[in-house]
Amino acid sequence: MKNKQAKIKVAVALRGGVDSAVAAALLKKQGYEVVGVFMQFWFPAGEIYGENRCCSLQAWQEAQEVASALGIKIYKVNFGRQFKRLVVDEFLRQYQNGLTPNPCVTCNKFIKFDLLWKYVQTVFGADYLATGHYVKRVKIKNQKSNIYALLRSKDKNKDQTYFLYNLKSAQLKYLLFPLGDYTKAEVRQLAKKFKLAVYAKPDSQEICFVGKSHYDFLKKYLRLKSGDIIDIKGRVWGQHQGLQLYTLGQRSGLRISGGPWYVAEIDHKKNLLVVTKKQKKSAIYQSQLVCQQINWLAGNQKLPLNCQAQIRYRSRAVKCLVTRSGKKYLVKFMTPIRAITPGQSVVFYDGDKLLGGGVID
């Protein structure tokens, strides 16, 4: 008897890594009609990228090998122009303005789960789009209809809900995340079982388009102005290379003696980098933040809202109270938080359930 899922077509975003490869393998095993799609992005001219970079030439070759091993078709789509405009240019614009953006959040919002989904739906007639993200998609029944939510994955160390807060419940209906119930170790074991050559491939840790050095990339593309590095008493300890190259709480890369020093303040008006040795008693630790561009997965939340908030990937979620003032939201933490960074994302949870998130102002 033919599997009832045989006519359901799923486009899998293959990146040349073990996660997307196993996601495709699991879906094929479940009886779906699987097609692979490799996204080609923008890279700086003349840059050389390591073997574990997603979207590189080597990643494309590895994605083709995965598709061949699984017996599925794979297509390459060039989103370089859109990626440059929506992700890279916005990344540089925010850095130039003194913010610390998260390009992976932007890419998920505009490229993977908008542009790519529209493409595979139109070109391939796909019923679903699947990725190798570590996140659980669940169906919740209510009185009117079924709605969808996102939960943290089984592997809490690899959980990627933080990057997906811009999704809507209506979008989740068409998305599949096959790895939500697996740990990374289990995924590698499955890749070996499926005889996929990428089973031992290292994870990509850096932003895909910046090359080997985040610092060098910013120096190349930003307009930078050097200035004094001072302590909280106003004493000069050295020169910074441009305030956009530093972030609150940063310790390494300051290149001044007498440390350890931590970045306590970035004063753009006076072009000063303020450092301190006593990080716990300085502005590095704060009890509240203001955020904007909020997205709630299931529609607006009733405020005030008691929940937990996470201010960076893999940081601890802390109890907080969310209130609203005009178009902006105030988040008050029960305990002070280290290095709240403007431009980064603050993401809200109810236990393991992802509620939404926004951009720190």
> What is the domain-level CATH number for residue 185?
3.40.50.620
In contact, 272 and 98? CB cutoff 8 Å: no
Q: What are phi and psi of 221, to 5 degrees?
A: -110, -10
Domain of 337: which CATH number?
Answer: 2.40.30.10
> Per residue of the chain (361 residues), what is the pLDDT tens digit?
345 555 899 999 999 999 999 999 999 999 999 999 999 998 776 555 444 467 778 889 999 999 999 999 999 999 999 999 999 999 999 999 999 999 999 999 999 999 999 999 999 999 999 999 999 999 987 756 678 999 999 999 999 999 999 999 999 999 999 999 999 999 999 999 999 999 998 887 778 888 778 888 999 999 999 999 999 999 999 999 999 999 999 998 899 998 899 999 999 999 999 999 887 666 789 999 999 999 999 888 899 999 999 999 989 999 999 999 888 999 999 999 999 999 999 999 999 999 999 999 9
> What CATH number corresponds to the domain at position 259?
2.30.30.280
Domain residues for the domain of 350 are: 285-360
Q: Is residue 334 part of a domain?
A: yes
* 291 counts as catalytic: no
Pairwise CA distance, residues 184 & 154, whole Å = 9
CA distance 139 to 35: 24
Active site residue 307: no
Number of compact structural domains in the chain: 3
Instruction: Let me know if residue 265 belongs to a domain.
Output: yes
In a domain, 309, yes or no: yes
Q: Which of 54, 55, 104, 208 is catalytic?
A: 208
CB 98 within 8 A of CB 271: no
Q: Of the residues 54, 55, 104, 107, which is catalytic?
A: 107
352, part of any domain: yes
Decide if 155 is inside a domain. Answer: no
pLDDT digits (tens, 9 = 90+) for 159-191: 999 999 999 999 999 999 999 999 999 999 999
CA distance 323 to 317: 18
- Looking at the structure, tell me whether residues 195 and 243 fall in a common domain: no
One domain for residues 115 and 25: yes
- The verdict on residue 164 lying in a domain is no
Q: What is the pTM of this model?
A: 0.93
